[in-house]
Amino acid sequence: MNKPRFVSAQTRLNLVFTLLFLVGAIILTGFIQASIQAMSYNTQARLTFTEARQLYQAQAYLQDFEKAFNDYELTSDYVSLSEYQSNYARLQQSLANMAAETELLEEKAALDKLALDIAALRQRFDQVIQAVDREDWEAVVGLDDEAYALVEPIFSQFDRLIQARSDALLDQRDEAGAFTDLVWLAILLALPVFLVVVVVVVLIVARQIHTPLIRLTDELVPIQQDDFDPAALAPLPERRDEIGYLAREYLQMAAAVLQRRAGLQREADDIRARLR
């Protein structure tokens, strides 16, 4: 006859706590992934904001470039001419940096086109400056019209690029807000689930270990009072773990104690009968 397989209570508890650990690990992993995603949204938003700030700075260089040109056109001041040249260099360098950093082909093409249009504007402004130096005012007027016909489209291109950055920031804000709401919902759902799992584990531990041990301990009193009932321990002796082993050993011990007590009682009865 095959003996029943012995499955220790420790093994059962290890399985229970392993499941509890897995649930906690899954929840913790979800929170870590949520944190990583939140940091990703933050990084994207900061990058978009930085790009928008670079565009604003480039637009400011364009305005300073145009202002220095106007100042030189009015005053023929070489300080204004120097500012005109330096602002143009900063403007083109800023656009080149943004084109090199962007990963969007469409945006890179837009920045490259903007740089070419500004270079064309510079050519027109240089022609006006040369006409001013010659004091050819009739040519200045005609070249001014040609130059300023290029200015408005260039500013419009800047406005479109900046608006695209603003729209991207709004979209990222909405996505981040929706993700945050989803994370809070997940937290509100995960915490009760985890608490339920903890309560279930506590109940399992109480049922598998604590309560049976209390029952075994409580049966010590009936043995002392000669009022022991083996059925009171059912079904503990049928368990295939340490608790069942203790219950079976306890029953054997109780039977031996009761048998020994009964034997002593018979001997005492025999002695009293002889004395009579």
**Inter-helix orientation angle 242-275/211-218, to 10°:** 0
Longest dimension (CA), the chain: 158
pLDDT tens digit sequence for 2-37? 444 555 666 666 777 787 788 778 877 877 887 787
Amino acid of residue 42: N
Mean pLDDT of 81-94: 93
DSSP 240: S
Cα–Cα distance, 260 to 272 (Å, whole number): 18
The predicted pLDDT at position 2 comes to 44
**Average pLDDT value over all residues in the chain:** 80
- Domains, the chain, ranges and CATH? 9-193 (1.20.120.1730), 219-275 (no CATH)
Cα–Cα distance, 180 to 177 (Å, whole number): 5
Q: Tell whether the model's pLDDT for residue 230 goes beyond 50.
A: yes
Q: Where residue 227 falls among pLDDT bands split at 50, 70, 90? A: low
Place of tokens 């004091």: 135
Residue 25: is it exposed, middle or buried by C-beta count within 10 angstroms (0-12/13-18/19+)?
exposed
Q: Where residue 208 falls among pLDDT bands split at 50, 70, 90? A: low
What stretch of H or E contains 170?
A: helix 137-205
Nearest to 236 by CA among 224, 223, 258, 218: 218
Mean pLDDT of 153-169: 90
The predicted pLDDT at position 229 comes to 66
Mean pLDDT of 94-104: 89
Mean pLDDT of 244-272: 75
CB count in 10 Å sphere of residue 266:
10
The predicted pLDDT at position 120 comes to 93
